[in-house]
Amino acid sequence: MTKILVIDDDEQMRNVLKKLLTHEGYQVFIAEDGVEGIKSFYRYHPDLVITDIIMPKKDGIEVIIELIQAHPKLPIIAISGGRRAVTAGFNLDSAHMLGVRASLLKPFTHRQLLNVIEDIMQDVMQI
C-alpha cells in the first residue's frame, strides 16, 4: 500500500485530503507544519509527500529542500494558493526549481490531485 504524508497548516485541508486519499486506498499520515512534517517523514517513511508552501515554523520550501537533499528521488507534490494566489504561483515555480514532481494551485479538484498522484506513482514504479 502506498504511504502518503500530507503536510498542511489548514486543518480542513488535511482532513479532506486524508479522507479522500484513504478512500482511494492510500495509507495517509498528516502533519500540521513543516517541523512536524519532517519528523513524520522519518517516522513513517512515506512513498510520496504532499506539502503546502506557506506554513508556520518551517515552510514548504524548507521542507522540500531538506527532503530532496536527503532523498533526491522522493516524489513531492507542492500545493499553495488561497488568499495569496499571486504569490502562490511564484512559490510553486520555486518548488519546481527545487525538484518537486508536481504542483497544484489551490483550490484544486479531487480528480486533479488523484491524477497527479497516479502519474507520479506510475513513474516511480518504472524507475
Looking at every residue in the chain, the average pLDDT score rounds to 91
Q: Which pLDDT belongs to residue 104? A: 92
- Residues 16, 75: Cα–Cα separation, whole Å: 21
Quick one: DSSP state of residue 101? Answer: S
Could you write out the DSSP letters of every residue in 46-100? Answer: -SEEEEESS-SSS-HHHHHHHHHHH-TT--EEEEEEGGGHHHHHHHHHHHHHHT-
What residue has cell string 495569496? 84
What are the backbone angles phi and psi of residue 31, rounded to the nearest 5°?
Answer: -140, 145
Contact between residue 64 and residue 78 where contact means Cβ atoms under 8 Å apart = yes
Which tops the pLDDT comparison, 19 or 105? 19
Which tops the pLDDT comparison, 87 or 94? 94
Q: Where do the domains of the chain lie, and which CATH numbers do they carry?
A: 3-126 (3.40.50.2300)
Bridge pairing between strands 3-7 and 27-31: parallel
What residue has cell string 517523514? 41
Total-model pTM: 0.92
What are the backbone angles phi and psi of residue 93, rounded to the nearest 5°?
Answer: -60, -40
The 3-state DSSP class for residue 5 equals strand
pLDDT over 80 at 96, yes or no: no
